[in-house]
A = this chain, B = another copy of it.
């Protein structure tokens, strides 16, 4: 049985990630389960762009992650199809949960029954780094191919009522929002104190959550 599991685990997991036009910035969109999924043989479909996400995921049998404000299903990346189990799903947290449950022999993303704590951590972190969005959305446009950029810009206007360029904070407002963001990161650092990882010396989902936001911050470059 163990041997069978080992063989099954060797099947190639399809991993749908965000497209990028820049070399070496694959995986610019942070995804906490990446650490664990990279331990599997992977197939990464390429050539699809933002406007293709819905059709691609539907075709692969991956259900939508949530609903758009207009009530329509919302298909998001990252997403996986695991031929060993037939499971097809999207959403970073759901994928992490699935990988831990299905491959407990690989280092757990949510060790010591910390699933609920990790969920709350993810949410508390988001509340602190929220001011990053208006700064960073426009930067995404420089990372993706023109067809994705056009789609991204158009759909953000529908979502936020203004363009990603108009969203970038200016003047005094920029200073205030930047200060909030710095305080937010400071708060998170305060939780960790002098520990190397969120769970002391054990790497977990939470570290990749924090790391993901730091990667995103790096997109901002020097101000």
Interface residue A111 (Cβ < 8 Å from any Cβ of B): yes
Measured in the bound complex, the distance between the Cα atoms of B198 and A117 in whole Å is 7
Copies of this chain, count: 2
Q: How many residues of A contact B (CB 8 A)?
A: 25
Q: Are the CB atoms of B116 and A118 closer together than 8 Å?
A: no
Q: Report the bound CA distance from A192 to B115 in whole Å.
A: 8
Q: A121 an interface residue at 8 Å Cβ cutoff?
A: yes
**A interface residue numbers (CB < 8 A to B):** 111-121, 123-125, 127, 191-193, 195, 198-202, 206
Task: Pull 15 A–B residue pairs with CB atoms less than 8 Å apart, ordered by A.
Answer: A113-B199, A113-B201, A114-B199, A115-B191, A116-B191, A116-B193, A116-B195, A116-B206, A117-B117, A117-B118, A119-B191, A120-B120, A120-B206, A124-B127, A127-B127
Cβ contact of A206, chosen from B117, B123, B202, cutoff 8 A: B117
Considering the chains assembled together, what is the distance between the CA atoms of A200 and B120 in angstroms? 15
Known: A119-B191, A121-B121, A123-B124. A113 touches B200 (CB 8 A): yes
Closest to A112 in B: B112
